[in-house]
Amino acid sequence: MSAPPSTNATSETRAAAKKAAKKPATIHDVAALSGVAASTVSRALSTPGRVNFRTRARIEAAVTELKYVPNAQAKALSSGQTKSVAVLVADITNPFYFDIIRGTQLQLKAAGYTQLLVDTEESEEVEVNTIEQMLQTADGVILTAPRLSDEALLLAATKMPLVTINREVPGIPSVLLDTPTATNQALDHLISLGHSHIAYLGGPGSSSSNIRRWEALSTAAQERGVQVDRLGPFAPRTYSGAAAADALVYSGATAGIAFNDLMAIGMLQRLATRGVRVPEDISIVGCDDIFGADFCSPPLTTVTAPVDQAGRVAVTMLLSRINPGIGTLPRSQSVLPTHLTIRGSTGPAPLRP
Amino acid sequence: MSAPPSTNATSETRAAAKKAAKKPATIHDVAALSGVAASTVSRALSTPGRVNFRTRARIEAAVTELKYVPNAQAKALSSGQTKSVAVLVADITNPFYFDIIRGTQLQLKAAGYTQLLVDTEESEEVEVNTIEQMLQTADGVILTAPRLSDEALLLAATKMPLVTINREVPGIPSVLLDTPTATNQALDHLISLGHSHIAYLGGPGSSSSNIRRWEALSTAAQERGVQVDRLGPFAPRTYSGAAAADALVYSGATAGIAFNDLMAIGMLQRLATRGVRVPEDISIVGCDDIFGADFCSPPLTTVTAPVDQAGRVAVTMLLSRINPGIGTLPRSQSVLPTHLTIRGSTGPAPLRP
DNA sequence: CCAAGAATGGCAATCGGTTGTCATTAAGTT
DNA sequence: AACTTAATGACAACCGATTGCCATTCTTGG
């Protein structure tokens, strides 16, 4: 370090040197200025009742004068609480996560927590490594649509507070967006329009919401006596919409329900290129109602979910685990309702010769 | 705490208790297992050459056996480096930032840093408070399109490493997306299509890129002898596109250049509602080429910028300040080229009676 | 007027590392 | 073989807080 040669400096000159170095004030500086011990300052700030109000007043004056801000690292080290929460998302650039992130961010900030945002790049390995790392760094973790196995998740849950979004594992608190129900609404919607041969354009095989959705869909299809093919899996991205669109056309189905809106939008683009009209020739349903779903061409019929609310609820659940006893009794699961938003990408089934 | 009653426990039983509590191993545990002092372990890990290779091998064996991971807080406290960087964005849900965030995230992770993402909600106050807080928590800050005054920024820059994106302040390293140049391209594009009365739909008055853009535009308009009105300011959101669209129609201009794509897309929607055809009646140019600009209706002619690259470059510049001497000599400014992407929202000027 | 108890503040250990300093040992020099 | 020098590892202080425990002071009751 480039510390000045510390000769027999008086405390005054050392204080001056410190001021010159712009080093932020510590609890000891406050203690010295207000003529008490550091421990008293700590108590005055964290346990106001523990300290005489006159003393506290002096301390608070010193705090404002020195612009003292407690060092988060030191606080974390001694208290064991980092006041930060990690939020893991599979792909930051997927608009679906935008509102989740904003929801968590808002709620966390309101509670005085910092958000550590990590993009796991749809990789299980990154996911598990990050969790391992966050064990030390964060007070808790929010996992959005984790790819990990149930066992791995349960193991991680034993080590630290953890809440999942869109993934249900017994014993782990979770927030679920009830897309299967809305997907059934979509099915009814399509059937009512005369479609009898429908395809599901599946997402990643390891995605639990993909599995849940397909189960709901195939069950409902049987009950209603319509044919629903399962195509895919496709990557949940715009670019894989082309392959999905071609598979859909090839399947002969008159309507497609896509794993998510990114894929659906990609399909719309591909179908337009191929000259297949939507919804005249083929109807398309998406899922998530992401940014863009309302202004693509045609506007997408899709499943709308209260995404930012999911983020907020997840944070609330997590914080109630981190600080037990405070506030309401912790719910261990929350299912948020969704609904079908009908726009221009679905229409009557074409007449077959 | 719920510590077990510590009777005259041997170190062995205490170790067992520790294992039961699943407390992560510390450097002292490693030291004890490998029969050296904690300081030696520290050196073996951070300064490999400082320790005999046989000793180091023993230590590394102990590390893997205990699954030792250094505690980030303790490391931060003693070393003064938190290995984390704060990234401040005005609005997480603005797609423009997605790629910046992804760019910073990627580059930071590659360098072993953690990203602290903060949404400042377009608020100057939140911005300054966050910076103040991050002073202690992060090793550096990346500010995207900050709203702060030059003075406030310079002051903050004296306290900690800081890089701005899309904001130029002498003395502060910055990454600029050269949108003014591309905006002039847009102007030429419109002029070549026969437009002679054009409007600029301005963004927030405090936005520096808004100011830069308008200056470039008005200068270029004078040179070329066309009329460019300035309308606004409008919020850089989809919903303010309606007002912008109406203002544009009222102004009588045949083409509008919007502050950003969000606004432009909102304008497209509003114009469609009003029955104004784009581009037959009015041409629209956006800026940023965000997600959605290619599939809105009609697809948006807009200014494309290497946004994720901006994030990566900003991180590189910041890290070279945080760790001076390592790697290349730090650039203090980087201007990234942009270009006009012509799509369907611009066309020949309508013939005026 | 004295003892008991509450209120208050200080001391020192602790969290888990880093790093300067020093003692010991081994190797190299002449 | 005696001496210098480099290599190596331990000790202890320190980073900036928190917190258990103890000493002092002030109240208050008997």
pLDDT score recorded for residue A7: 35
**How much of chain A, in percent, has pLDDT values that exceed 90?**
63
Task: Judge whether residue B18 has pLDDT over 80.
Answer: no
B69 touches strand D (CB under 7 A): no
Residues 230-259 of chain A with CB under 8 A from chain B are none
Residues 118-147 of chain B with CB under 8 A from chain A are 118-119, 132-133, 135-137
The C-alpha atoms of residue B186 and residue A223 are separated, in whole angstroms, by 56
- Asked if the Cβ–Cβ distance from A69 to B159 is below 8 Å, we say no
Residues of B in contact with A278 (CB under 8 A): none
CATH value of B83-177+307-336 in 3.40.50.620, 3.40.50.880, 3.40.50.720, 3.40.50.2300: 3.40.50.2300
Residues of B in contact with A114 (CB under 8 A): 116, 137
Closest partner residue to B101 (CB to CB) among A92, A116, A269 is A92
Convert A251-283 to b/e letters by CB count within 10 Å (16 or more is b).
bebbbbbbbbbbbbbbbbbbbeeeebebbeebb
In sequence order, what are the beta bridge partners of A164?
A: A143, A174
Per-residue pLDDT reduced to its tens digit, B65-96: 998 989 889 999 888 889 999 999 988 888 89
Q: Contact B304/B340 with Cβ under 8 angstroms?
A: yes
pLDDT score recorded for residue B330: 67
Would the CATH topology of B11-70 be identical to that of B83-177+307-336?
A: no
Average of pLDDT values for A229-243?
Answer: 94
pLDDT score recorded for residue B131: 87
Nearest nt (C1') from A59 Cα: C9
At the topology level, CATH places domain B179-304 in Rossmann fold (3.40.50)
From residue B115, give the alpha-carbon distance in Å to each of A265, B82, B275, B334: 30, 11, 46, 22
Instruction: Name the token pair of A130.
Output: 């990050």
Question: CA B24 – C1' D24 distance (Å)?
Answer: 41
pLDDT score recorded for residue A206: 85
Task: Judge whether residue A36 has pLDDT over 50.
Answer: yes
Question: CA A76 – C1' D18 distance (Å)?
Answer: 10
Task: Give the confidence band of A263 by pLDDT, cuts at 50, 70, 90.
Answer: very high
Which stretch of A14-18, A203-207, A227-231, A305-309 has the lowest confidence by average pLDDT?
A: A14-18
The C-alpha atoms of residue B63 and residue A9 are separated, in whole angstroms, by 43
How much is the mean pLDDT over chain A?
A: 88
Task: Judge whether residue A13 has pLDDT over 70.
Answer: no
- Asked if the Cβ–Cβ distance from B296 to A296 is below 8 Å, we say yes
Give strand D nucleotides closer than 7 A to any protein Cβ.
7-12, 14-20
- Asked if the Cβ–Cβ distance from A159 to B22 is below 8 Å, we say yes
Bigger pLDDT: A254 or A146?
A254
Residues of B in contact with A312 (CB under 8 A): none
Which stretch of A20-24, A236-240, B224-228, B332-336 has the lowest confidence by average pLDDT?
A: A20-24
pLDDT score recorded for residue B5: 37
Task: Judge whether residue B222 has pLDDT over 70.
Answer: yes
Which stretch of A177-191, A260-274, A279-293, A317-331 has the lowest confidence by average pLDDT?
A: A317-331
Residues of B in contact with A99 (CB under 8 A): 93
Task: Give the confidence band of A328 by pLDDT, cuts at 50, 70, 90.
Answer: low
Nearest nt (C1') from A78 Cα: C15
Domain boundaries, chain A: 11-70, 83-177+307-336, 179-305
Question: CA B60 – C1' C25 distance (Å)?
Answer: 24
Per-residue pLDDT reduced to its tens digit, A96-140: 998 899 899 999 989 989 999 888 888 888 888 888 888 888 999
CATH value of A179-305 in 3.40.630.30, 3.50.50.60, 3.40.50.2300, 3.20.20.450: 3.40.50.2300
Task: Judge whether residue B338 has pLDDT over 70.
Answer: yes
Nearest nt (C1') from A75 Cα: D17
Task: Give the confidence band of A3 by pLDDT, cuts at 50, 70, 90.
Answer: very low
pLDDT score recorded for residue B351: 83
Give strand C nucleotides closer than 7 A to any protein Cβ.
7-12, 14-20
SS3 track for chain A: CCCCCCCCCCHHHHHHHHHHCCCCCCHHHHHHHHCCCHHHHHHHHHCHHHCCHHHHHHHHHHHHHHCCCCCHHHHHHHHCCCCEEEEEECCCCCHHHHHHHHHHHHHHHHCCCEEEEEECCCCHHHHHHHHHHHHHHCCEEEEECCCCCHHHHHHHHHHCCEEEECCCCCCCCEEEECHHHHHHHHHHHHHHCCCCEEEEECCCCCCHHHHHHHHHHHHHHHHHCCEEEEECCCCCCCCCHHHHHHHHHHHCCCEEEECCHHHHHHHHHHHHHHCCCCCCCCEEEEEECCCCCCCECCCCEEEECCHHHHHHHHHHHHHHHHCCCCCCCCCCEEEECCEEECCCCCCCCCCCC
- Asked if the Cβ–Cβ distance from A92 to B73 is below 8 Å, we say no
pLDDT score recorded for residue A267: 97
User: Which residues lie below 8 Å from residue A83, measured CB to CB, with a gap of 6+?
Assistant: A72, A75, A76, A112, A113, A114, A139
Residues of A in contact with B116 (CB under 8 A): 114-117
**How much of chain B, in percent, has pLDDT values that exceed 90?**
62
Task: Give the confidence band of B329 by pLDDT, cuts at 50, 70, 90.
Answer: low
pLDDT score recorded for residue A331: 77
Q: Contact B172/B157 with Cβ under 8 angstroms?
A: yes
Neighbours of A60 (CB within 10 A): 17
Average of pLDDT values for A205-232?
Answer: 92
Per-residue pLDDT reduced to its tens digit, B106-124: 999 889 899 998 888 888 8
The C-alpha atoms of residue B169 and residue B326 are separated, in whole angstroms, by 25
Task: Give the confidence band of B19 by pLDDT, cuts at 50, 70, 90.
Answer: very low
pLDDT score recorded for residue B126: 85
Task: Give the confidence band of A47 by pLDDT, cuts at 50, 70, 90.
Answer: confident
CATH value of A11-70 in 1.10.287.130, 1.10.3720.10, 1.10.260.40, 1.20.1300.10: 1.10.260.40
The C-alpha atoms of residue A226 and residue A220 are separated, in whole angstroms, by 9
Question: CA B23 – C1' C5 distance (Å)?
Answer: 40
Q: Does B114 touch chain A (CB under 8 A)?
A: yes
Q: Does B93 touch chain A (CB under 8 A)?
A: yes
Task: Judge whether residue B12 has pLDDT over 80.
Answer: no
Burial-class residue A72 by CB neighbours within 10 Å (0-12, 13-18, 19+). buried
Average of pLDDT values for B286-295?
Answer: 95
Task: Judge whether residue B342 has pLDDT over 70.
Answer: yes
Task: Judge whether residue B333 has pLDDT over 50.
Answer: yes
Q: Does A154 touch chain B (CB under 8 A)?
A: no
Task: Judge whether residue B280 has pLDDT over 90.
Answer: yes
Task: Judge whether residue B206 has pLDDT over 90.
Answer: no
pLDDT score recorded for residue A330: 67
pLDDT score recorded for residue B266: 97
- Residues by CB within 7 A of strand C: list them: A 35-40, 49-56, 74, 77-78; B 23, 26-28, 38-39, 42-43, 45-46, 68-71, 74-75, 77-79
Task: Give the confidence band of A20 by pLDDT, cuts at 50, 70, 90.
Answer: very low
